[in-house]
């Protein structure tokens, strides 16, 4: 193997490594079809943006009026493959805080729990799974 080839392979490996690192760092970014286990499965939209270990996004929570949702901004972190996110429902009479914990499993599905609480105490705690929304042409 020539010296030039060795250098080139090293550069390629470094580029590939950087690329993989970048991919891992933005791995949760995208739109997720989240199923909240609330007796039956309620589909909600979870949109995430990962930048290294910082995670931001929105969750579209159903309101008490059927067919209506409210977008709740979320902020959180990613650490050792697990993430936490939290946000507050703006404009609500009793300010409700949403906390989402989870991880990406080997099948590419997010799984974890969503907890909600207000000034009067916890409102509920649900398991969820979320599949990445299929990209369309």
Partner 1 sequence: MNALSRRSVLKGFGATVALPFLEAMVPARRSSGAPADRKKIRLVCIEMVHGSAGSSAIGVKKNLWAPAAVGRDFDLSPTSLRSLQPFRDHLTIVSNTDVDPANPFTAREIGGDHVRSSAVFLTQAHPKQTQGGDVLAGVSLDQLYAQRFGQATPIPSMQLCIENVDQAGGCGYGYSCVYTDAISWAAPNRPLPMIRDPRVVFDTLFSVVKVGTTQAERAERLSEDRSILDWLLASVTHLQKSLGAADRARLADYLDQVREIERRIQVVEARNRSGEVRDLPASPIGVPDSFSEHVKLMFDLQALAFASDLTRVFAFKLGRDASNRTYPDSGFNGSFHETSHHGGREDKILNFAKLNAFHVGLLPHFLDTLKNTIDSDSTMLENTVLIYGSPMGDSNLHNHKRVPFFIAGHAGGALKGGRHLKAPNGMPLANAMLSVLHSLGLEELEQFGDSEAAFDLNAG
Smallest separation, CB 45 to partner 1 (Å)? 4
Q: Which residue, 43 or 124, is less far from partner 1 as judged by CB? A: 43
Residue 67 binds partner 1, judged by CB under 8 A: yes
Instruction: Find how far residue 49's CA is from the centre of its chain.
Output: 8
d(CA 37, CA 46): 15
Residue 97 binds partner 1, judged by CB under 8 A: no
Q: What is the largest CA-CA distance in the chain?
A: 71
Residue 62 binds partner 1, judged by CB under 8 A: yes
Residue 39 binds partner 1, judged by CB under 8 A: yes
Burial class (CB in 10 A: 0-12, 13-18, 19+), 117: middle
Residue 108 binds partner 1, judged by CB under 8 A: no
Residue 44 binds partner 1, judged by CB under 8 A: yes
d(CA 18, CA 59): 30
E strands along the chain, which residues?
30-38, 40-51, 54-62, 69-79, 82-89, 96-104, 110-118, 121-132
Residue 66 binds partner 1, judged by CB under 8 A: yes
Residue 109 binds partner 1, judged by CB under 8 A: no
Residue 85 binds partner 1, judged by CB under 8 A: no
Summarize as ranges the residues that interact with partner 1 (CB under 8 A). 31, 33-35, 39-45, 47, 60, 62, 66-69, 133-134, 136
């Amino acid at each position: 193997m020539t010296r030039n080839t060795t250098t080139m392979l090293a550069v390629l490996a470094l580029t590939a490594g950087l690329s993989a690192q970048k991919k891992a760092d933005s791995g949760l970014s995208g739109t997720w079809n989240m199923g909240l286990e609330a007796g039956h499965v309620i589909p909600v939209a979870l949109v995430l943006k990962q930048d290294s270990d910082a995670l931001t996004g929105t969750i579209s929570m159903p309101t008490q009026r059927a067919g209506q949702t409210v977008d709740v901004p979320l902020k959180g972190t990613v650490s050792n493959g697990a993430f936490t996110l939290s946000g507050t429902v703006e404009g609500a009479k009793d300010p409700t805080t949403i906390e989402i914990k989870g991880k990406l499993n080997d099948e590419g599905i997010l799984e974890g729990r969503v907890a909600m609480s207000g000034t009067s105490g916890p409102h509920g705690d649900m398991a969820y799974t979320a599949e990445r929304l299929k990209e369309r042409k």
